Every structure is written in structure tokens, then in C-alpha cells.
Amino acid sequence: MFRLGQKKVFGTELSNRIIWILGVMFIQFLVVGSGVLTSLFYNLFDKIVSYPDMPDAVVFVLSSYFVSFFPLFIYAFFYTGITKKNRFIHRSFLPGQRGNKPSKLLRGFLAGFLTNAFCVVIALIAGDIKLSLDFDIADIPFYLFAFICVFIQSSTEEVWTRGFLMERIHVHYPLWLAMVINGGLFASFHLANPGVSALPIINIFVVGVAYSVVAWQTDSIWYAMGAHTAWNFTQNLLFGLPNSGLVSRVSVFRLEAANASDPLIYDPEFGVEGSLPATFINLALMALFLYYAYKEGRLRELGLSYEKMQAADQEAEMPVAE
């Protein structure tokens, strides 16, 4: 996906098979999740929680968006940089990647906010929810801190799914297949969330594939990181709605009532992620970026592996014999 012009250092045939990649990723999650780095962060968290008068809001943000995710983020960054066959993925996280610009990150933030706000507005118009403002200017430092924590959580999921998993599968397999598999794994991350049901899982799969399309078309995982962060922050800490079933202790707006006459418009347990407006807006986001790719003449890339894309580019650059 990310056209960096790297050499063929992808490793052995076995290491590029889908089942192997998924197995390696699963094992790494288990090892890191029970490892020294994670233990250090949990010990730090325990000390913070035991600190006198620690606000519940800070405890919620740290426990929900930081403690379990930061070790996985750090590990993914260094693992892809240390292992030779994954360095092309490591480079795709860095500013040197041609699409990774601050403007792309900001556009991602805007896309995530607008798509989530669309779902919230539909629920408000339908009368399924009622919100009231609950904000004090003194809370700004907390919300900045919370935004950073949400960024870490969302970016961790992005670097593993739209980063490591999709890129490693794409080496030998068509891009569309890599997108579908990472979207499926992304949905599986949420199977144990409170209030989960069929439509929320479908929606999370859809948004996983949509963010895959966004990262590919923009040549920037930063765009997907921004969109994912803003989506989660908007629904959970701006509007005070459940984020994949997770209810925040504090938010800019407070949910006064959730009288969903039709759960297809607003899911009281899972939030807007369990609604048809979420299905529609994320399919629309996917369609928009597929249209951009069509205008650029890049849709053929969806059916190609990275190696086939490289071979096609090299063939196109060969001089024509007279």
C-alpha cells in the first residue's frame, strides 16, 4: 500500500501466510499484555488511583484509554523497526512517509468528528437522546489530557490493524483481502464490549474497512489515526455517549435521557456505533475515498498484492525497445 520503494526484504514464504501473520500478532498481544512493560504501567496506574483525591474522570481516562494500550503502541513501533521484514511498515508510521503530514492528521480529526456528529444529530432529531451542556473552562486541561489518551488508544489499534496486519498480508495477497481481514479482526476486538450485538459488530467491521481505504488512498495511516481518535473522543468525551459500550464518567455534554423508540437509530447500550446512521456514514466515507482513488486511476491496486504492484511499476518504467 505505502509505496516507499523498499527492497524485497519481506522474509520467507511461511512468514507471509495469513494464518502465520495472525498467529504471530495474537502471540505478541499475549506476551506484551502480560509482560514487564504492561506490568510497569499497571503499577503506575495503581499508584495514581491510590493518590488522595484522584478525580474519577482521570482514573476513567487512564484505565480506558491508556494503561492497556500504550505498551502495545510502544511495542508495535519498536518491533516493526527492529525486525528487518517489517521496517517498511515502521517507516509508514513516521513523518517521512509521503502522506504523513500534519494536515492529513488534522483532516482525519475533522472526518472523525463529522461522521460521529452526524450520527449524534440524527439521534437528537429522532428524539432518541437528549443532551445538556456540562462544561467549565477550567476543565480544558483535563480534556486535552483525555484527547491524548484517546489518541494513544485509537492509534494503537490503527498501527496493529491498518498498519502491521494489513501491510504484512498485502505483501503477497490482494489489497482488498488485507482490508477485509483487518476489518474483521478490528471488529473482533469489540466482541466482549458491553451491549454488543450484531449491528454494532457489522458497523465496526465497516468502519475498519473504511479506515483501511482511507489509509490506502491518502498514503497515510495518520489520517486513519486522526479519524479514529476524533470518532471515539467525540462520542464519549464530547457528547457523553457510550463508546462501544464504554460509558464516560465526564463529558462536555451530558446525556439527560436515552429513550430510543427505534434502536436502529440509537442503541442505548452501545451508542451511535450500534445504529444504522453509523452504517450509512461510514459506507459513505468509504465510497468517497474509493471515488478519489478512481479519479487517480488507482482502483486496480485493490486487486494486487504489493509484490505485483512493484513488478507492474518496474515493468512500466522499463524503456521500450525501438
Could you give the CA distance from residue 285 to residue 254 in angstroms, rounded to a whole number? 28
Q: What is the mean pLDDT of the chain?
A: 87
Beta bridge partners of 130: 257
Above 70 in pLDDT, residue 320?
no
For residue 51, tell me if it sits in a domain. Answer: yes
Above 50 in pLDDT, residue 71?
yes
For residue 305, tell me if it sits in a domain. Answer: yes
Query: Residue 319: which region, alpha, beta or left (left: phi > 0; alpha: psi -120 to 50)?
Result: beta
Contacting residues for 240 by C-beta, under 8 A, at least 6 apart: 131, 134, 248, 251, 252, 253, 254, 255
Above 90 in pLDDT, residue 102?
yes
Above 50 in pLDDT, residue 9?
no
Q: pTM for this structure?
A: 0.89
For residue 321, tell me if it sits in a domain. Answer: no
**What is the structure's pLDDT at 256?**
82
- pLDDT tens, 147-159? 999 999 999 999 9
> Are 123 and 245 within 8 A, CB to CB?
no
For residue 25, tell me if it sits in a domain. Answer: yes
User: Out of 116-120, 180-184, 263-267, which region has the weakest mean confidence (pLDDT)?
Assistant: 263-267
**What is the structure's pLDDT at 75?**
92
Amino acid at residue number 76: A
User: Out of 11-20, 243-252, 284-293, 300-309, which region has the weakest mean confidence (pLDDT)?
Assistant: 11-20
The residue among 132, 118, 165 whose CA lies nearest residue 22 is 165
**What is the structure's pLDDT at 288?**
98
Above 50 in pLDDT, residue 29?
yes
Q: From the CA atom positions of the chain, what is the Rg in Å?
A: 21
- Answer with the residue of higher pLDDT: 317 or 141: 141
Above 50 in pLDDT, residue 5?
no
Above 60 in pLDDT, residue 25?
yes
User: Out of 259-268, 269-278, 292-301, which region has the weakest mean confidence (pLDDT)?
Assistant: 259-268
Contacting residues for 281 by C-beta, under 8 A, at least 6 apart: 115, 118, 119
For residue 2, tell me if it sits in a domain. Answer: no
> Are 176 and 184 within 8 A, CB to CB?
no
Question: Could you tell me how many helices (H) and strands (E) the chain has, helices first?
Answer: 13, 2
Above 90 in pLDDT, residue 229?
yes
Amino acid at residue number 203: N
The count of structural domains within the chain is 1
> Are 162 and 212 within 8 A, CB to CB?
yes
Beta bridge partners of 254: 132
The residue among 242, 304, 306 whose CA lies nearest residue 273 is 242
For residue 301, tell me if it sits in a domain. Answer: yes
pLDDT class for 7, splitting at 50, 70, 90?
very low
Average pLDDT score over residue span 73-89: 92
- Answer with the residue of higher pLDDT: 152 or 196: 152
For residue 5, tell me if it sits in a domain. Answer: no
Report the percentage of the chain scoring pLDDT > 90: 58
Amino acid at residue number 81: G
> Per residue in 188-205, is it b (16+ CB within 10 Å) or e — as a string?
eebeebebbeebbbebbb
For residue 103, tell me if it sits in a domain. Answer: yes
| Domain membership of residue 140 as a residue range | 14-316
> Are 218 and 205 within 8 A, CB to CB?
no
The residue among 12, 31, 32 whose CA lies nearest residue 20 is 12
**What is the structure's pLDDT at 45?**
80
Report the percentage of the chain scoring pLDDT > 70: 90
